[in-house]
């Protein structure tokens, strides 16, 4: 039974790769979400069109296709990516497109009176966004961002198909070496579920923290 500990180490290594991918993908997704989400609310038609095209393209095609495109097609036009880079790029851009709609929705959900108050206080567009609108909108976005992060975690399983050694890949390795399918797959299912629970717990506590001091503002 000593061999199982070695295989478990392999799975843990995979878990680290999955966590790393999830974190880096989330950071890229967050950046893209704010760029595209604010872009859709821009005054300039060109920026609005660009943001809309990005969002529709990445929401309309499958994450799987985007990943394969990044990994197999980009090299032919001169951009070679490592599996990890391709994974982070595809995951971040894909989930970023979904999250961009969350950013837009949250900003639009802030009441008109807040904008009017900003005008009355003679705040500029950027100042109003930075000091009044975003602090309130962030709280609205947060729960959905948590869901998006879990979607991203689940989507990382796909990168095993471009030979990145994440949890799913390692489970396949263990399967092919031991011939046992039940144990490795059950183990990684439980690990994925635990990671998802950690994300939802983290987002909930972050939400409580950020809601502090906003009691009077939110109805």
By CB under 8 A, which span of 44-52, 109-117, 125-133, 153-161 interacts with other proteins? Answer: 153-161
Phi, psi (rounded to 5 degrees) for 217:
-80, -40
C-beta neighbour count of 45 within 10 angstroms: 8
- Give least dist CB 126 to other proteins, A: 33
CB of 166 to other proteins, least distance (A): 10
Instruction: Return the residues of window 41-60 that contact other proteins according to CB under 8 A.
Output: 56-57, 59-60
Work out whether 148 is an interface residue with other proteins (CB under 8 A): no
69 in contact with other proteins (CB under 8 A): yes
Q: Which whole-number Å values give the CA distances from 60 to 71, 76, 165, 166, 187, in the listed order?
A: 19, 24, 28, 26, 33
Q: Is residue 188 within the footprint of other proteins (CB under 8 A)?
A: yes
Using CB under 8 A, count the residues that bind other proteins.
40
Residue 108 or 186: the one with the smaller Cβ distance to other proteins is 186
First and final C-alpha spacing in the chain: 59
- Binding window for other proteins (CB under 8 A); candidates: 19-27, 31-39, 67-75, 120-128: 67-75
Among 26, 160, 165, 170, binds other proteins (CB under 8 A): 160
Residues that bind other proteins (CB under 8 A): 56-57, 59-66, 68-69, 72-73, 76-77, 150, 153-158, 160-161, 167-168, 171-172, 175, 181-182, 185-186, 188-189, 192-193, 196-197
């Amino acid at each position: 039974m000593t061999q199982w500990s070695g295989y478990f180490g392999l799975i843990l290594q995979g878990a680290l790769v999955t966590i790393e991918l999830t974190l880096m993908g989330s950071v890229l997704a967050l950046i893209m979400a704010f760029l595209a989400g604010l872009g859709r609310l821009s005054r300039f038609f060109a920026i609005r069109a660009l943001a809309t095209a990005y969002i529709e393209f990445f929401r309309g095609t499958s994450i799987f296709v985007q990943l394969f495109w990044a990994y197999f097609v980009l090299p032919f036009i001169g951009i070679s990516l490592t599996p990890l880079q391709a994974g982070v790029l595809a995951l971040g851009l894909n989930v970023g497109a979904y999250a961009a709609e969350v950013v837009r929705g949250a900003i639009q959900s802030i009441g008109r009176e807040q904008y009017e108050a900003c005008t009355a206080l003679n705040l500029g567009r950027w100042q109003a966004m930075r000091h009044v609108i975003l602090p309130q909108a962030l709280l609205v976005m947060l729960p959905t961002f948590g869901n998006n992060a879990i979607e991203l975690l689940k989507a990382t399983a796909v990168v095993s198909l471009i030979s990145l050694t994440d949890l799913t890949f390692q489970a396949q390795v263990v399967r092919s070496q031991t011939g046992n399918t039940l144990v490795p797959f059950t183990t990684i299912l439980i690990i994925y579920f635990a990671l998802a629970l950690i994300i939802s717990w983290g987002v909930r506590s972050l939400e409580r923290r950020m809601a502090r001091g906003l009691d009077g503002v939110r109805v």
